[in-house]
A and B are shown apart, each in its own frame.
Chain A
Amino acid sequence: MQAHPFIFDPIEQSYREFSDIPRLLASAVAIISRSKTLWGACRFALVTMSAFCVGSSYAQEKSLPELTISSKPIPTESWSFHFGVLEIPEYSGVHPLLQPQYETTLSKVVPLTMLFDVTLAYTDFSQLDVLSSHRLAFVDYGFHGGVRYTFAKDRKAYPFTALEYFTSLLFGADVFPDPPSNDPGRVCIAFPLTFGALYGLGERSNFQPTTQLEFGLTARPVWYYRQSWGFSYAATIGFRFPSY
């Protein structure tokens, strides 16, 4: 039997070349979104992962001597600006996202910060044409506040580490336009949960990162007024400008 150099596409019920991987990924997402069980499993995995991360970070903090904790670079405040895409099942398509964010530390020894963001998601990419005179059309705008924990590494032990991970849990509200059909509600309370990574683009002499690249994946459980629970997702990339 000849080995097949292709991948099986479950939607088309046929084999495809490796170059079709993006399409296969889209197929996988489509299958997951059609299945309530798989959808639920994804949500469960997300919540479990977040609980695990928070638990492990707490254990890590407890196990570290106080001296090493204080050698982690904790900015007093940071401004970030994120670009990305937002996917809301009730509003078809992928929507460009802009998200300015402010962050300030809650502690001088634990890399826990509180933050406030404003989320602006446009209906489509043509809305980003700043030279156009049309009125901006948002598919989602809202605000969120909450806490972020950065898995900051001890710079005495890892002086050259540029990559750090973080997780954040926020609470806020969002407003949507009228959906085309099956009105799922147009105003919601949201609980964005984000996992991401910070990559330092430079470092000061005392191991404090300067500007950082920030990558984030957000799952956002939402409760639509008078309606039901929903879910939306965002992927963002941006810059974080910490000050110490």
Chain B
Amino acid sequence: MRKPLIAVLLLLLPQWVMAQSDSVARNDSSEVNWARVAIATGGLAAGITGLHIYQSNAWWSNNRAPFHVIEDDQYQAEFDKVGHFFGGYYSSYFFDEAYRWAGLDTAQSAVLGAFSGALWEFYIESEDGFAHDWGFSRGDAKSDILGASFYLLNNRIPFLRDFRVKWFYTPTTKVTEGKTDIPGHKPTIIEDYGGQTYYLRADVHHMLPDNMKSYWPSWLNLAFAVSGYNINAHYPDGSDNFADRKKAYYISLDYDMDKLIPESSIGILNFVRRALGYWHFPAPALRLSPNPKFFLIFPVSITFDHGLHIGAEPSLGG
């Protein structure tokens, strides 16, 4: 029911290996390079096996139970579902990169990437279903499938190519001070939903008419964002910790690192450059709800209360 992002991060490993010799990853040639197919599938298989072993030891070992399903709609005010959506989406991207590198054309790699991403996330969710402390979450699975499906739409429908889902993370007290909902549980950044923000950015430059494109830089975007709000709330008096946990909505500026960083002839640099295109970096933002507020550089909060105070916005994660 959690861990979608660590799955994505561990998938990076074979990708980095594959990117070593990648200088023409974006081509539509129909010539399949079977050596690359072998390397890509081998790398992915190794990555998946490695992740399985890691998760078996870290999360699932000594914690096995008969398969069971849970409903966790109220968990983290459903903000974790956004994380799962992004997990399916970003996993699909990495699979797509691998298949494209192997020589599949853009349509083939996109459909195979989306299918692989959905399958991968579903596999992780299924393993959770056999874990004693959590279970297979229908809502998480729905979000995983939606994320992978959106990746396919995003790639194959021209209008949707102007949009991209991105993520942003700053550590909260859940990780820095070990404040967790489950006593004795060691929190990870993956479960630190209070520090995560997800963006849907629109490529304004590309959407503008040709005669207006010169007025807007190609790397600068507008984005709609969602984050947690009071998502790590803990009340020592015994009140319901989950009662005040909400989602917060923003509009924000955004910039594409894959456009700001120049293209390189070194494969791995190009791979990192493209992967960074799915990350958001600090930028001005306006919180629409709840408690509207302007951030000069989100998530840094600047307040004037008996002097200037600069720090991370406390209401995001608590």
Chain A residues proximal to chain B, CB less than 8 Å: 76-77, 102-104, 106, 108, 114-116, 118, 141-143, 145, 172-173, 175, 177-178, 185-187, 225-226
Contact = CB atoms under 8 A, between A and B. Distances in A.
A102 B108 CA distance: 11
Contact of B111 (A114, A185, A226): A114
A225 B241 CA distance: 34
Given A77-B156, A108-B30, A143-B145, A116 B126 contact: no
Contacts of A142: 145
A225 B69 CA distance: 11
6 contacts: A102-B111, A102-B156, A116-B114, A118-B145, A143-B115, A143-B148
Given A143-B115, A143-B145, A186-B69, A114 B152 contact: no
B108 A226 contact: no
B66 A187 contact: no
Interface in B55-108: 66-67, 69, 107-108
B125 to A, nearest CB: 9
B107 A104 contact: yes
B299 interface: no
A102 B160 CA distance: 15
Nearest to A224: B67
A234 B141 CA distance: 22
B149 A173 contact: no
A175 B126 CA distance: 11
B136 interface: yes
Contacts of A226: 66-67
Nearest to B110: A104
Nearest to B148: A143
A172 B123 CA distance: 11
A180 to B, nearest CB: 15
A76 B107 contact: yes
B39 interface: no
A116 B145 contact: no
Contact of B152 (A76, A102, A175): A102
Classify the secondary structure of B's interface with A. Answer: helix
A225 B156 contact: no
Nearest to A106: B108
- Per CB-CB distance, the 10 closest pairs between chain A and chain B, nearest first, are A145-B115, A104-B107, A226-B67, A225-B67, A143-B118, A143-B145, A116-B111, A186-B69, A173-B122, A116-B115
Nearest to A185: B67
A106 B142 CA distance: 28
B156 A143 contact: no
Interface in B136-157: 136, 138, 141-142, 145, 148-149, 152, 156
Given A104-B108, A106-B108, A175-B138, A187 B67 contact: yes
A18 to B, nearest CB: 46
Interface residues of B, number: 24
A150 to B, nearest CB: 17
B43 interface: no
A186 B138 CA distance: 9
A156 to B, nearest CB: 24
A121 to B, nearest CB: 13
A141 B111 contact: no
Nearest to B125: A187
A187 B107 contact: no
B129 interface: yes
B264 to A, nearest CB: 30
A141 B142 contact: yes
Nearest to B153: A102
Contacts of B222: none
Nearest to A226: B67
B108 A143 contact: no
A111 to B, nearest CB: 15
A190 to B, nearest CB: 11
B119 interface: yes
A173 B119 contact: yes
B189 interface: no
B190 interface: no
Nearest to A135: B73
B112 interface: yes
Contact of A225 (B107, B112, B114, B126): B126
Given A143-B149, A187-B69, A187-B136, A115 B142 contact: no
Contacts of A114: 108, 111-112
B112 A118 contact: no
Interface string B21-55: 00000000010000000000000000000000000
Contacts of A177: 138
B178 to A, nearest CB: 33
Contacts of A118: 145, 149
Contacts of B156: 77, 102
Given A77-B156, A142-B145, A104 B111 contact: yes
Contact of B69 (A77, A141, A178): A178
Contacts of B112: 114, 145
Nearest to B69: A186
Contacts of B119: 145, 172-173
